[in-house]
Amino acid sequence: MKDLKSFKELLLRKTDDESLRTLIKMAAEEVLADQLLESLQKMATNRSAGSHANLSIRDFGTEMDPELEPAMIREALGHHASRYKAALASNNGKTANDHASQFFKILDMVHKVQPHSQGKLQAETVDVKPWERTHGSRSETFAQRMARDPEYAKDNPVTRGKKLPHQFVNDTVGFSFQPKGNDWSFLQSDPHSAYSAETSKHGHVGSYPMEHTKINGKYIPIEDVENVHDGKKNHSFDSHPILSHYSESVKNRTPEREQQYLDERDAHMSSPHVESHLEHQHKLMSSGEHESRGLQPGPAVHAGSKRAEIPQSIGKGPELPEHLSQLVKPAAESPVVVRRPKAEPAAAEDAKSKLPSHLHDLLDSLK
pLDDT digit string (tens) for 116-150?
999 999 999 999 999 999 998 899 999 999 999 99
pLDDT tens-place string over residues 252-276? 999 999 999 999 999 998 888 888 8
* DSSP 8-state code for residue 219: E
The whole-model pTM stands at 0.71
**CA distances to 46, 114, 122, 293, 337 from 111, in Å:** 9, 5, 9, 23, 29
pLDDT category at 75 given cuts 50, 70, 90 is very high
> Does 198 score more than 90 pLDDT?
no
DSSP-assigned beta bridge partners for residue 124: 214
* DSSP 8-state code for residue 168: B
What's the chain's length in residues?
A: 367
Q: Is 338 left (phi over 0), alpha (psi -120 to 50) or beta?
A: beta
pLDDT at 82: 95
> Does 170 score more than 50 pLDDT?
yes
Task: For residues 347-361, give the mean pLDDT.
Answer: 49
> Does 187 score more than 60 pLDDT?
yes
How many helices and strands, by DSSP H and E, does the chain display?
17, 3
Task: For residues 313-317, give the mean pLDDT.
Answer: 42
For the chain, the average pLDDT equals: 80
SS3 assignment, position 73: helix
**Cβ contacts of 67 within 8 Å, gap of 6 or more:** none
Tell me the H-state helices in 155-292: 196-202, 242-245, 255-269, 272-287
User: Residue 310, exposed/middle/buried by CB under 10 A (0-12, 13-18, 19+)?
Assistant: middle
Q: Where are any strands of DSSP class E within the chain?
A: 123-124, 214-215, 218-219
Neighbours of 323 (CB within 10 A): 9
Interior/surface letters 209-233, b for 16+ CB within 10 angstroms, e for the rest = bbbbbbbbebbbbbeebeebeeeee
Out of 230-239, 256-265, 330-339, pick the least confident: 330-339
pLDDT at 238: 95
pLDDT at 204: 87
Task: For residues 333-362, give the mean pLDDT.
Answer: 47
> Does 57 score more than 90 pLDDT?
yes
SS3 assignment, position 109: helix
Task: For residues 88-114, give the mean pLDDT.
Answer: 95
**Cβ contacts of 230 within 8 Å, gap of 6 or more:** none
Share of the chain above pLDDT 90, in %: 53
Cα torsion 40, 46, 52, 53: sign:
positive
Task: For residues 267-289, give the mean pLDDT.
Answer: 81
> Does 348 score more than 70 pLDDT?
no
* DSSP 8-state code for residue 270: T
**Cβ contacts of 321 within 8 Å, gap of 6 or more:** 147
pLDDT category at 314 given cuts 50, 70, 90 is very low
pLDDT category at 309 given cuts 50, 70, 90 is very low
pLDDT at 313: 37
104: closest CA among 182, 206, 195? 182
pLDDT at 321: 64
Task: For residues 233-253, give the mean pLDDT.
Answer: 93
pLDDT category at 200 given cuts 50, 70, 90 is confident
Task: For residues 356-366, give the mean pLDDT.
Answer: 51
